[in-house]
Structure 1
């Protein structure tokens, strides 16, 4: 049995602005990490380690981080995900310890 529908909280314009700013900062942080992997300033394993320990960065999809790597496109990223039995829509924070270990082994 379901209770009454939950009311959506009404946010003040200041709260909305604050939430928008926080979301923008989070997107920037995730984009910056992927860019650093792409241009080689951060290795995949370092990026993965950083993302695992950071609530904002852990929301990056695994496939997006793989695709940020040089010479890894859609096909290769998909193959890696399938070989390691990682769901296509999995985010870094949803990875198990063994999946993280296998990703690290693959790129170390």
Structure 2
């Protein structure tokens, strides 16, 4: 299948949409980092939003204060969540275990 040729306007619209999505995801992680919202609130917010649900779980964990690469990896392994899993790909039980861990 050939890649469709997009017009200049379509390319610019796609770029601006991608930039806006990245900003929204970065803003959510920054709110978690600053303590403006809790991890559980961020998780619930991301589950309902198509753009935010594309954040990797490990990146959201690493946004928490005092959680680095090692601790985030340990949490993921203990909860049996794949390292490349995004929030939209979490199962009901995984969401429940994450919520239970951080409440």
With structure 2 as the length reference, what TM-score do the two structures score? 0.99
1:1-108 correspondence runs (5 A): 6-108=1-103
Distance, in Å, in 1 between the alignment partners of 2:37 and 2:74 is: 23
Is there any run of 5+ residues in structure 1 with no aligned partner, and where?
1-5
Is there any run of 5+ residues in structure 2 with no aligned partner, and where?
none
Distance, in Å, in 2 between the alignment partners of 1:18 and 1:101 is: 37
The structure 1 segments of at least 4 consecutive aligned residues displaced by more than 4 Å after TM superposition are none
Larger-gyration structure (1/2): 1
With structure 1 as the length reference, what TM-score do the two structures score? 0.95
Q: How many residues were matched structurally?
A: 103
Q: C-alpha root-mean-square deviation of aligned residues, in Å?
A: 0.3
SS in structure 1 opposite 2:59?
helix
